[in-house]
Amino acid sequence: MNIQGVYRRMSAYLVVPLALVVSAIVALALAVLGAGAVDFLLDEFRGRADLGDSFLAFFYAGPAIAILCFVACFSILINWHHAASWRAPTLAFALGATSLWVWAHEFGGIGFVWYLPGIVAWLLSCWLLHRKSSSSFHHVLQA
């Protein structure tokens, strides 16, 4: 018995919250690692350790990496359970963008450019999931 077989037999009511939690954990871990890598690279290329570079990496690049990873991971996990449509990455992007906006609202906002990696992941996930799905003309209202 493999993990994906057990995962596919789980109820959809349990899979979506599980996918949200796992995606959030993976996104936060990769955001910390990515922000650390960006901070390290900025220190190496500029030749000095600057506090401004650390703020840039952890408060701007980190959330951008987190929203990218959250959308991609959630779309993959839902697609592993059942055939997903554009709704799974849209839900993930809406949750990630809303939480990023609420978090950044306390800091005076972070601008639009930091949402771009999440938007790219969202559009790419929607496009890939749309290509794999086949809709029947008999069930137009259920799409």
26 pLDDT tier (thresholds 50, 70, 90): very high
Please state the pTM of the whole predicted model: 0.76
pLDDT in tens, 1-21: 677 777 778 887 888 888 899
Candidates 59, 24, 54; CA nearest to 37 is 54
Q: Please classify residue 72 by burial: count the beta carbons closer than 10 Å to its beta carbon, then call 0-12 exposed, 13-18 middle and 19+ buried.
A: buried
pLDDT in tens, 38-94: 888 888 887 776 777 777 778 778 888 888 888 888 888 888 877 777 778 888 888
pLDDT in tens, 67-82: 888 888 888 888 887 7
Q: How far apart are CA 97 and CA 143, in angstroms?
A: 25
- Residue 98's pLDDT is 81
Task: With a cut of 50, say whether residue 124 has pLDDT above it.
Answer: yes
- Residue 10's pLDDT is 84
For residues 96 and 74, the answer to whether their CB atoms sit within 8 Å is: no
Task: With a cut of 70, say whether residue 133 has pLDDT above it.
Answer: no
* Integer angstrom CA distances of residue 128 from 72, 78, 89: 11, 13, 11
Q: Is the dihedral of CA 89, 118, 61, 36 positive or negative?
A: positive
Rounded CA Rg of the chain: 18
Q: Which of helix, strand or coil describes residue 125?
A: helix
Average pLDDT of the chain to the nearest whole number:
78
Residues sharing a CB contact under 8 Å with residue 81, sequence separation 6 or more, in sequence order: 7, 8, 10, 12, 15, 19
Q: Which residue has the tokens 């401004």?
A: 52
What share of the chain has pLDDT > 90, as a percent?
A: 8
Task: With a cut of 80, say whether residue 129 has pLDDT above it.
Answer: no
